[in-house]
A and B are shown apart, each in its own frame.
Chain A
Amino acid sequence: MTYFPEEVVEHIFDFVGSHRDRNTVSTVCKAWYQVERLSRRTVFVGNCYAIRPERVMARFPGIKSLSVKGKPHFADFNLVPYDWGGFALPWIEAAARRCPGLEELRLKRMVVTDDGLELLARSFPNFKSLVLISCEGFSTDGLAAIATYCRGLRELDLQENEVEDHGCQWLSFFPDSCTSLVSLNFGCLKGEVNGGALERLVARCPNLRSLKLNRAVSVESLNKILARASHLVDLGTGSFAVDHRTDAYHTLMNSFPKFKSLRNLSGFWDASPCCLRAVYPVCTNLTVLNLSYAPAIQGDDLIKIICLCFKLQKLWVLDSIGDKGLAVVASTCKELQELRVFPCDIYGAGTTSVTEEGLLAVSSGCPKLNSLLYFCYQMTNAALITVAKNCPHFTRFRLCILDPGKPDPVTNQPLDEGFGAIVRSCKNLRRLSLSGLLTDQVFLYIGMYAEHLEMLSIAFAGDSDKGMIYVLNGCKNLRKLEIRDCPFGDIALLKNVAKYETMRSLWMSSCDITLGGCKALAAKMPRLNVEIINENEETDEFEENLSDLHKLEKIYVYRTVAGPRNDAPDFVWTL
């Protein structure tokens, strides 16, 4: 290969797509490192504190697409304090200085500010795509800046962000000359948008294929939009609630048949069963259906719509679907790959919900099922063992039994055998979340069998340090381990310290880790940041009574070449 001129090597590298392969290729020799870094177009940074942004931009000056992730996953469940970190601005600034050719930016769980968005909008003349997932810290003013300055913007995709509402005018900032939008998702915005501006924007973007409206968009407005956007592939419907005696309802009923290309439907926030009928004409072509934000649609109406969706590949639904509804899914949706069942009633005694029966039905009826997120009130080992037999292709298996530490209700046994069967059978399992009553045994199984496991989430499980040690010693491909409320202590933490450098991160909260244990870890592994998150109000008192035996509420350990971070708030210590 060294006989080939650089252009040829570069051309060969064009065929090397995945991040991992490109990373490997760059380590072969200096020449390859150089060619690779100059020809790299996409960079993915899984932990924004693992490396400084300047270093990334310096190494890859030609990047067109950058993805960065910030807070640890448990931030989704409010376990990470509000101002822990994960700031996007340093990344935007570094890219603005070094990589002006940037076209795409994708941020997840980061703090993004309006200033950052404005800098972004002004710095990259070819900017095409902004995707923000579970971010916060910005307002509609920042969106106005994006609309104003990003000529040629193709994609603005806002998923589940906390956006401060500063008014409805931001949409109007898209100039009349903006006709390039392909994807617009503002479903997470809480406030109104300017209806007229939205309709005009949709009308002048002939390439618009994905449009996800927020709850504030009424059916009247939706009707006008649908009249202009018959090429949509992906639609988030907005509120979707209207009195069936109105003209708007009748218009809605007649709007959908013309959508020959529509494949994804979501939204439905206030949808009633009446209104849901409007989409029946397109159900037979649907591949993705998200009804998980539609609590007014109960079991029987869910069944009516699902009956029609025989091409469905991805279904997100509330547990009001019941085992009965899942049986219908099993008999209708033979192409189903991903199923997510969310709880309707988080605080109640569990009225209609799903049990192991529903999961069993889907596992036997849907041979292509490979991704599951299932909230339920009970699960049995027998069911899990059968599910494992029926579905050996799971890549993602997340089961959440709502009552922490609940055993198999039939046998009163822990669910070790059930989950054991899952990891034994599903050889390609990459992501696993456990729940229910679990002993160290399940971790023995996971360590032994889950060879491709990359992410493991554990809560209220295990008996002793052995559990965590089995996992750390076993799972060769483990990248992210997150643990809460388990009896794992310093012995487990320190048993296999080298492992943490092969992983992206470790999160442990409400376990038995002490300050002394963390100090020992930090001393042994200088290339890890061992962060202690201490939200105790009496911080001064804490600093003085610094016993090594003091148990720590939350720790976050991650490999890094950037050293301790300089933007950590007071309550975060990096040892």
Chain B
Amino acid sequence: SPLQQTQSYSSSQQLRTGPVEFPARLREMEDVKGSDGLGDTELRLGLPGTSTATRSAKRALPEGDEESHDELRRTSAAKAQVVGWPPIRSYRKNSFPGRKVEAEAAAGLYVKVSMDGAPYLRKIDLGVYKGYKELREGLDNMFKCFSLAELSRREGGSGSEYAITYEDKDGDLMLVGDVPWEMFISSCKRLRIMKGSEARGLNSRH
């Protein structure tokens, strides 16, 4: 379970790879223009006289990030989220059954979700869902404070008439659910929860 993995993570002797922010944070902490011979006056985290502050000491767990249970679930995969590390081809990584595929930031697994009428957007990680059913449940959960059912009732529709659509790689607006899940998560750029009335136009194509 993810919690078990978290435990083994923290019990290892060396702090393992931190979150995605790691490299940027590291460089904020150091003055890197050391090539003009002012090395000794560089700001470092180590004690003066040590040749280099060990990178492992700088690699702290995320501070100030939302410690929601979502984040905890993903902390176990946090070390996998340094994109492209370890340097193993995706082909090889995908060959082992039951291995969680690295949640890369690249191929759009984190997507924005907008809902018509809602004041702000959310962002979700498509990689944590196993399929369309879980996705719908997750979205329902996330947006229920804006009351999906409520919204469509106000528009004159019946309780559950909303449609989940997405923008694909080509920029087209598509209805969620038509293509196999794997294909969907690799081509989905953002999600939009639409009012039923607008979505009917989309549906009528089928």
Contact = CB atoms under 8 A, between A and B. Distances in A.
Interface of A: 74, 76-79, 81-83, 134, 160, 162, 188, 269, 292-293, 295, 342-343, 346-349, 375, 400, 402-407, 412, 414, 433, 437, 439, 457, 459-460, 463-466, 469, 484-485, 487, 489, 491-492, 510, 512, 535
Interface string B77-118: 101101111111111110110011010101100000000000
Contact of A293 (B8, B54, B55, B95): B95
A133 to B, nearest CB: 10
A463 B89 contact: no
Interface string B30-49: 10111100010000000000
Given A346-B86, A346-B99, A535-B106, A406 B14 contact: yes
B197 interface: no
Nearest to A464: B34
Contact of A460 (B8, B55, B100): B55
B1 interface: no
A403 B91 contact: no
Interface in B49-94: 51-52, 54-56, 59, 76-77, 79-80, 82-93
Contacts of A343: 86, 88
Given A464-B35, A487-B32, A489-B32, A348 B91 contact: no
A203 B19 CA distance: 54
A347 B35 contact: no
B33 to A, nearest CB: 7
Contact of B35 (A295, A405, A465): A465
A375 B59 CA distance: 21
Contacts of B76: 347
Contacts, number: 127
Given A347-B79, A439-B51, A512-B27, A79 B84 contact: yes
A484 B8 contact: no
A433 B77 CA distance: 25
Contacts of B12: 349
Nearest to A484: B84
A81 B83 CA distance: 12
A343 B92 CA distance: 10
In the A-B complex, list the 6 residue pairs whose CB atoms are closest, starting with the nearest: A405-B55, A77-B84, A464-B34, A465-B35, A160-B91, A487-B32
Q: Interface on chain B toward A: helix, strand, loop, or mixed SS?
A: loop
A404 B16 CA distance: 8
Contacts of B84: 74, 77-79, 484
Contacts of A292: 92
Nearest to A73: B87
B160 interface: no
Nearest to A441: B51
Interface of B: 5, 8-9, 11-12, 14, 16-17, 23-24, 27, 30, 32-35, 39, 51-52, 54-56, 59, 76-77, 79-80, 82-93, 95-96, 99-100, 102, 104, 106-107, 169
Contacts of B92: 160, 292-293, 342
Given A403-B16, A406-B56, A487-B27, A347 B88 contact: no
B51 to A, nearest CB: 6
Given A77-B84, A375-B86, A460-B55, A512 B32 contact: yes
A348 B85 contact: no
Given A78-B90, A465-B34, A489-B32, A347 B55 contact: no
A403 B56 contact: yes
Contacts of A433: 87
B88 A414 contact: no
Contacts of A77: 83-85, 87-90
B30 A439 contact: no
Contacts of A460: 23, 55
A48 B59 CA distance: 39
Most interface-central of B52, B99, B104, B106 (chain A CB within 10 A): B52
